[in-house]
Amino acid sequence: MNRHAGIRRATFLASLASLATLAAMPLPAAANEHVAAIEQLAPRLRAMLSMPAVLAATQAQNARHASLTQADIDRLDKQWRAEVSATTRPLIDPVLAHPVSVALKALQTDSKGLITEIFVMDNKGLNVGQSEVTSDYWQGDEAKFQKTFGKGPSAIFVDKVELDESTQEFQAQFSFTLVDPATQASIGAVTVGISIERLAE
């Protein structure tokens, strides 16, 4: 690991420590009690996950997918869904082997259970990299993408608590628009699953 990667991971772990501190604090008895705790971490998580490798991979995929039609996207999503339970996975496996996916998996592991998943989407809502296999390839029809990338560079979104079918964890997803720092243009989105069970410990 190079010096800059070490600094980035240290910053990320400091954010996780802050999350653990928030988890130990009594929260108001409300259906969305998790929102305030996660939103306090949003700036640090956003900065950490907007690393150069993520930005470069997303921009490269945007270029490759520039000519995709909705029919193409639907076909790829159907293929991904079929591969989730298959032994041969020509679409899924290259995404999981991508260096960005490997880095995201390491960050999830370092969180010691607080983070259940991390995945990055391109400007069409298709997966670029991920720490776990998602149940689908296209997120473009979901709130995590529509309420972030669809709303502009500064958008964030904390979803309701639910049992995630991919991870089998009660979690809330924190999502934000991925931004090119040079142009301030929206280039994709990132979703981070936060374990509600770990927050409640």
For residue 98, give the CATH number of its domain: 3.30.450.20
Q: For the whole model, what pTM was predicted?
A: 0.83
Q: DSSP labels for the chain?
A: --HHHHHHHHHHHHHHHHHHHHHHS---SSTTHHHHHHHHHHHHHHHHHS-HHHHHHHHHHHHHTTT--HHHHHHHHHHHHHHTT-S--TTHHHHHHSHHHHHHHHHHHHTTTSEEEEEEE-TTSBEEEESS--S-SB-TTSHHHHTTGGG-TT-EEEPPPEE-TTT--EEEEEEEEEEETTTTEEEEEEEEEEEHHHHT-
How does pLDDT run across 121-130, given as a tens digit for each residue? 999 999 999 9
Rounded average pLDDT over 108-128: 94
pLDDT tens track for 190-199: 999 998 887 7
- The domain tally of the chain equals 1
Domain limits for position 12: 3-199
Q: What is the mean pLDDT of residues 136-158?
A: 97
